[in-house]
């Protein structure tokens, strides 16, 4: 099919907003268009109008659509040096003044990042002192994250990342292989609360020492990024830390002055003003 017109995308976002009360209009247009095109190919639809008709008529299709639209390829210990900085600097700094730590994974996807965090905390001997909240807009991906079962086909990638992170043990110490899947030990997630939350329209629901919102905002335009960053700023304790993706930045955002850069390489910031 030919390229999707902006007018068609506007019609689609308008329909979703009215029918499902979700606002996609401020998603980065090139990324949104690419993903919609993939969905049309996947479901063998000839046009955006056909997609709208399907969303309108088929029970449960909207959830499938959101899953496909927000699909996020992720790995355990992705960017191993980032996890080392967390282990060696950020988490010890938080624990200097606290006997507990609260962490929010905003846009947790299928949970590999949450599992990685649990392993880091476990190896630091403070997993039992952590309260972790993991949220995503997609209900089905949250259900997957809760199960913490990952295909053995991908385990080599996770294992190499863990080795580069310089973990204390072997990754095998943290899962059982069952039916071609690595089933992570349930104790890793005992202090994790998974919930559906919309970063765009959802409210501020708690305060955290550390927020990870990595590789989520690359899909948003500047307006939406600003909205989300305001919400995250409000969700952080003063002197709390924010980690974003390696291709993301706070520099231009209108609350940039309320943060200082702690590690520019790994995109870690510290809130210094309420």
Retrieve residue 146's tokens: 């809760």
Query: What is residue 76's predicted lDDT score, i.e. its pLDDT?
Result: 97
Report yes or no on 74 lying in a domain: no
Q: Where do runs of H (alpha helix) occur along the chain?
A: 6-20, 29-42, 48-57, 61-69, 80-85, 91-96, 112-123, 139-147, 155-165, 222-235
Domain carrying residue 108: 80-271
Q: Are residues 159 and 251 in the same domain?
A: yes
CB 217 within 8 A of CB 253: no
Quick: pLDDT tens for 105-117.
999 999 999 999 9
The per-residue DSSP string of 107-131 comes to S-TTSHHHHHHHHHHHHTT-GGGEE
What is residue 230's predicted lDDT score, i.e. its pLDDT? 95
| Sheet-wide strand order for 175-178 | 149-151, 181-184, 175-178
Residue 75 domain-assigned (yes or no)? no
- Asked whether 135 and 105 are in contact (CB, 8 A), the reply is yes
pLDDT digits (tens, 9 = 90+) for 28-86: 788 789 889 989 988 999 999 999 999 999 998 998 898 788 666 689 999 999 999 99
Residues 52 and 87 reside in one and the same domain? no
- Residue 149 counted as domain residue: yes
- The 3-class SS string of 36-57 reads HHHHHHHCCCCCHHHHHHHHHH
Residues 36 and 110 in one domain: no
Q: What is the side-by-side order of every strand in the sheet holding 130-136? A: 192-196, 130-136, 101-106, 208-213, 236-244, 268-271, 259-263
Domain count, the chain: 2
**pLDDT of the residue at 218:** 79
The answer to whether residues 94 and 168 belong to one domain is: yes
> Please, are residues 89 and 56 in contact by the beta-carbon 8 Å criterion?
no
pLDDT of residue 27: 78
140 with 264, same domain: the answer is: yes
Per-residue pLDDT of the chain (274 residues; tens, 9 = 90+): 468 998 999 999 999 999 988 888 877 788 789 889 989 988 999 999 999 999 999 998 998 898 788 666 689 999 999 999 999 999 999 999 899 999 999 999 999 999 999 999 999 999 999 999 999 998 989 999 999 999 999 899 999 999 999 999 999 999 999 999 999 999 999 999 999 999 888 999 999 999 999 988 877 888 889 999 999 999 999 999 999 998 888 988 999 999 999 999 999 999 999 9
Residues 48 and 102 occupy one common structural domain: no
Q: Which of 24, 47, 69 is the last residue before a domain boundary? A: 69
The verdict on 250 and 171 lying in the same domain is: yes
Tell me: do 59 and 100 sit in the same domain: no
Report the CATH number that the domain containing residue 117 is assigned in CATH.
3.40.50.150
């Amino acid at each position: 099919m030919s390229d999707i017109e902006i007018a068609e995308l506007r019609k689609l976002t308008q329909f979703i907003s009215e029918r499902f009360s979700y606002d996609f209009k401020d998603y980065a247009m090139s990324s949104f268009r690419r993903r919609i095109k993939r969905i049309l190919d996947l479901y063998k639809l000839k046009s955006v109008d056909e997609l709208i008709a399907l969303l309108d008529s088929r029970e449960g299709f909207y959830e499938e659509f959101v899953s496909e639209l927000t699909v996020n390829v992720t790995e355990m210990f992705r960017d191993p040096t980032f996890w080392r900085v967390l282990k060696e600097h950020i988490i010890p700094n938080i624990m200097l003044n606290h006997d507990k730590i609260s962490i929010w994974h905003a846009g947790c996807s299928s949970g590999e990042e949450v599992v990685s965090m649990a392993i880091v905390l476990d190896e630091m001997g403070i997993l039992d002192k952590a309260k972790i909240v993991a949220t995503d807009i997609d209900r089905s991906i949250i259900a997957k994250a809760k199960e913490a079962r990952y295909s053995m086909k991908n385990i080599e990638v996770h294992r190499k990342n863990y080795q580069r992170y310089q973990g204390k043990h072997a990754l095998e110490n943290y899962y059982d292989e069952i039916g071609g899947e690595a089933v992570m030990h349930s104790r890793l997630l005992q202090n994790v609360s998974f919930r559906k939350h919309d970063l765009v329209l959802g409210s501020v629901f708690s305060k955290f020492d550390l927020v990870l919102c990595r590789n989520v905002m690359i899909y948003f335009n500047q307006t939406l990024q600003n909205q989300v960053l305001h919400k995250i700023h409000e969700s952080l304790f003063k002197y709390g830390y924010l980690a974003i993706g390696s291709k993301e930045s706070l520099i231009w955002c209108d609350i940039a002055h309320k943060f200082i850069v702690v590690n520019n390489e790994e995109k870690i910031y510290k809130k210094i003003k309420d």
